[in-house]
Amino acid sequence: MFRHQVAIEPADIDHMGHVNNSVYLKWVQEAVIDYWRTVAPPDAVARHLWVALKHEISYRRPTFLQDNVVAEVIADKVEGARAYFTTVVRRGQDVLSEVKSCWCCLDAVTQRPARLAREITSRFLPPEV
């Protein structure tokens, strides 16, 4: 699991006094990309880009400006050029949201889908049972 500290900005707060739902998607994108940049070798980071294809988000509790929030990212699997992640946004022990997302790996030059080498995916996938 990878932990990404979330920054809450005043502009993230909506008319109801808590973080707008759309901001959670920004956090997930930041967290997954930060995860990639942390676990992948620098040459792989330079050669590949990620684009989100799908997010399924379940909101559990509201988030407020003063909250200390962390996004926990887990890579679930890789199939071809696609990678699947689970991101849990937490305030302490409270789960604020759970997100299942699907991403496509792209070649940074051609911007076409690209499969990652097994030695790269093994850095962030759980060991096979």
Contacts of 11 by beta carbon, 8 Å cutoff, 6+ apart: none
- Given a cut of 90, whether residue 125 has pLDDT beyond it is no
Q: What is the pTM of this model?
A: 0.91
Element (H, E) at 128: none
The domain that holds 94 is classified in CATH as 3.10.129.10
Q: Is the dihedral of CA 19, 20, 23, 28 positive or negative?
A: positive
Rounded to whole angstroms, how far apart are CA atoms 85 and 92?
21
Tens of pLDDT, residue by residue over 39-61, are 999 999 999 999 999 999 999 99
Question: Would 126 be classed as within a structural domain?
Answer: no
Rounded to whole angstroms, how far apart are CA atoms 63 and 36?
25
Percent of the chain with pLDDT over 90: 89
Report the number of distinct structural domains present in the chain: 1
Question: Would 23 be classed as within a structural domain?
Answer: yes
Domain residues for 112?
2-121
